[in-house]
Chains A and B, each alone.
Chain A
Amino acid sequence: MSERILIVGGRVVDSASGTDALLDVLVEGGVVRAIGPGLGGDGARRVDASGCIVSPGFVDLHAHLREPGFEQKGTIATETEAALRGGFTTICAMPNTLPAPDSGSIVESLLERIARDARVRVLPIGCTTRGRNGSEVAEMSELAAAGCVAFSDDGNPVAHGAVMRNAMMLAGSLGLPVSEHCDDPVLSAGGVMNEGRVSERLGLAGQPVTAEISAIARNIALCEATGTRLHIAHVTTARGLEMVADAKRRGLPLTCEVTPSHLFLTEDAVFGGGKEAAYDTNAKINPPLRTEADRRALCAGLNAGIIDAIATDHAPHAIEDKLCEFDNAAFGISCFETALGTLLTQVGRGELDLHAVLRALTTGPVAAFALAAKAPGAGRLAEGSRADITVFDPNQSWVVDVQRFASKGKNSPLHGLELTGRVRAVVVAGELAFAEEVAHA
């Protein structure tokens, strides 16, 4: 059943082994059979990777698949196809579905759907609290037994300090991390974008940076007190990142992620590129796009290795969720299919370091959620391990056209923008699951 695939002439970059060399990769029987120069692969399907980088398939700790409950926005089938095209071969599904995965049976049903429809490996994240209600801790041991790799209430930050403390103590006893959207909902109440120059200009209610900073501070204190692994979801502020760096220096079991959107865009995207305000609802995300100073700090933090993972926060929405007044629009960006393009465009600009980007797409997230045992082979290219491989051309330019997205979510503020860097082929569990026709000579 499995193909033999020979990926020829590419630059293999594997953070786990420190490999960065022109090598061939032979895939057979679902696993990486050999990595080396001038491999012969008689009868194997050849993937010409000349000019391309051959990487372990990307790992995403934060994605919204919308199923069950919001199939008009996306399904496991459509959104994992989008992940595949974006080079992501292992993704963690956030629990803001209906029903939310707060019991073993819901997780089991979710895993059945995943087994049936998913195009890439999907790992469920269980709820921190029952129904993501923020007041009663979910039955975490049952969720862990069912296969959840972490706990999170996603966009509902656990505001109640004692509930969070209890949840972290219980999660810690199960050896699983808590991934927390750090936001003080009282401080950010009603806010639809970053509070500051642009919100004051547009007359929109803002979310102050203090809402994120104070929540990060509280959660770092709980991390220190409980010893439980805390994963800070999508950090967006320079100050928040400083606190993460400080906590890491002190040796706390803390990791964090950043989204490609917050690395690439600022609050100005809401205003739009023209003279007249655009009120671009596609640039409305939570946490919001921040200032240029924050964006630069995030880039520096990624390059310095303070940020463990790049996570997409892929959030597909239906057209009507975004084609409305800014206040009424849903939060989120459909990100899978542009993530690598924006990251490599920034590598091209000298803002991001290629090795830092690839580390944060592979070994970084695997370590943050300790996925090595639960998702064998994820984030690494090693002979004998499961073959999840992404081949991309770092120099290929293309123009974002949301109508060509595999995702149901066409909600991207990048529509029409030229990016440099594109996925060419993706191997999932040894199968050539996606291959773009070779366009260049």
Chain B
Amino acid sequence: MLDVREESRPVALESAPEEARWRWKDLLDTDVLDPADIQLVMDTAEAMSEVRSRPMSKVATLRGTTVVTLFYEQSTRTRASFEVAAKALGADVVNLTASGSSVEKGESLIDTVRTLEAIGADLVVMRHGKSGAPYLAARHSKAGIINGGDGTHAHPTQALLDLFTMRRHLGDLAGRKVLIVGDILHSRVARSNIWTLVSAGAEVTLCGPATLLPTSLAGRSERGSVKVTTNLDQAIAGADVVMALRIQKERAERGLIPSLREYIRGYQVNARRLALAAPGALVMHPGPMNEGIEISPEIAHGVGSVIEEQVSNGVAVRMAILYLMATARTA
């Protein structure tokens, strides 16, 4: 997995404030990040985006850094995005999945991360089906743990790339209306987005069937607010951003929704509903999409859609995270 291609020019970080420094060993969720932390990620991601736009889009900044992707759940975009990001910075990347590794032989999570640390992993990007698993790994490893999605809890890099994407189009998010539609209760994307969006001063509305809404997440901070509602037609009115979430068929099997048909009726983001949103509203989706279920195809690929842009911004944001965390370790 060694990557030897390199380029001599250092990453330009002129836009990052002098005093701004990354202060976290791990990135487990966005809830602990203060506005300065988030600004640092955004500024660094801008610089990385510039690097990505160069003809030779690789640098050697993280040469000698070993990044392990440890995926206990399947993933296409997150794992690939991290791998591309790490390689673009010149890091060595090792990809591990639960199947085919000692995890299948019953090795505990703690033993696995300690083994990776002993091998020389500096950063471990981890996806796990159990909420909180990266916190356990982080407590028992000196390697920096990056949460690539844990159960139904958090997905911090997704939230940061979503924020990056929104700010590119809308600028300051203070007072902007961001609507997240779908299975909020089981969504790690929604949860991590709440913290970054509230921190940015947005007015967040969470909308979905009553059985899939965590009502206790509603509230107001001095910066932004979170509202919870089951009525999509009302919630979408005037929205600047409409983010649809993937609905899993399993929710219908467990009786949380009567059927996918019923879900579509109440919660599909489609042309009729999008017409109620603010003019030029951004349409987002963390993927993978069930087109025709939570989002209609013409909207998913329509003029307001920034769904593919989310994916490409994901690489720049993950480069920023890897860069900040790796350099903070050596500082």
Report A's interface with B, CB cutoff 8 A. 196-197, 200-205, 275-279, 320, 323-328
Contacts and interface: CB of A to CB of B under 8 A. Distances in A.
B217 interface: yes
B173 interface: no
B32 A276 contact: yes
25 contacts: A200-B185, A200-B217, A201-B216, A202-B131, A202-B153, A203-B131, A203-B132, A203-B150, A203-B152, A203-B153, A204-B152, A275-B32, A276-B29, A278-B135, A279-B132, A279-B135, A323-B108, A323-B110, A324-B109, A324-B110, A325-B109, A325-B136, A326-B130, A326-B131, A326-B132
Given A203-B151, A276-B32, A328 B130 contact: yes
B108 A327 contact: no
Interface string B8-41: 0000000000000000000011011000000000
B132 A204 contact: yes
Contacts of B185: 200
B191 interface: yes
Contacts of B214: 200
A401 B188 CA distance: 36
Nearest to A323: B110
Contacts of B47: none
B133 interface: yes
Contacts of A279: 131-132, 135-136
B87 interface: no
B154 interface: yes
Contact of B128 (A201, A204, A278, A325): A325
Contacts of B128: 325
Contact of A276 (B135, B215, B216): B135
B136 to A, nearest CB: 6
B132 A202 contact: yes
Nearest to B140: A323
Nearest to B184: A200
Residue among A203, A275, A320, A323 having the largest count of chain B Cβ atoms under 10 Å: A203
B192 to A, nearest CB: 10
A323 B216 CA distance: 29
Interface string B207-251: 000000011110000000000000000000000000000000000
A275 B150 CA distance: 18
A204 B131 contact: yes
A325 B328 CA distance: 28
Nearest to A324: B108
B216 A197 contact: yes
Residue among A202, A204, A323, A328 having the largest count of chain B Cβ atoms under 10 Å: A202
B208 to A, nearest CB: 13
Nearest to B215: A200
Given A203-B151, A203-B153, A277 B216 contact: no
Contact of B130 (A197, A275, A278, A325): A325
A368 B131 CA distance: 40
Given A202-B153, A203-B153, A327-B130, A277 B217 contact: no
A275 B110 CA distance: 22
Contacts of A323: 108, 110
B167 to A, nearest CB: 25
A325 B32 contact: no
A320 B130 contact: no
Contacts of B216: 196-197, 200-201
Contacts of A320: 108
Contacts of A327: 130-131, 151
A276 B29 CA distance: 9
A283 B128 CA distance: 22
Given A276-B32, A277-B29, A325 B153 contact: no
Interface string B25-69: 000110110000000000000000000000000000000000000
Contacts of A201: 191, 216-217
A325 B129 CA distance: 10
Residue among B110, B153, B154 having the largest count of chain A Cβ atoms under 10 Å: B153
B92 to A, nearest CB: 28
A290 B33 CA distance: 28
Contacts of A328: 130
B133 A325 contact: yes
A323 B128 CA distance: 16
Contacts of A197: 216
A327 B152 CA distance: 12
Interface in B100-145: 108-110, 128, 130-133, 135-136
A333 to B, nearest CB: 18
A194 to B, nearest CB: 11
B268 to A, nearest CB: 24
Nearest to B185: A200
B274 to A, nearest CB: 28
Contact of A325 (B29, B31, B132, B217): B132
Contacts of B191: 201, 203
Nearest to B131: A203
A196 B214 CA distance: 8
Contacts of A277: 28-29, 31, 132, 135
Contacts of A278: 135
Residue among B29, B32, B135 having the largest count of chain A Cβ atoms under 10 Å: B135
Contacts of B135: 276-279
Contacts of B133: 325
Contacts of A202: 131-132, 153
A202 B147 CA distance: 14
Interface in B167-217: 185-186, 188, 191, 214-217
A323 B29 CA distance: 21
A320 B109 CA distance: 11
B266 to A, nearest CB: 21
Contacts of A205: 152
Given A276-B28, A327-B130, 4 more contacts: A201-B216, A203-B151, A323-B108, A325-B109
A320 B136 CA distance: 13
Nearest to B135: A279
Nearest to B128: A325
A204 B150 CA distance: 11
Nearest to A277: B135
The 5 nearest A-B residue pairs measured at CB? A203-B153, A279-B132, A200-B214, A325-B130, A203-B131
Nearest to A327: B130
Nearest to A279: B132
A83 to B, nearest CB: 31
Contacts of B130: 325-328
Contacts of B108: 320, 323-324
A278 B134 CA distance: 11
Contacts of A324: 108-110, 136
Residue among B131, B152, B185 having the largest count of chain A Cβ atoms under 10 Å: B131
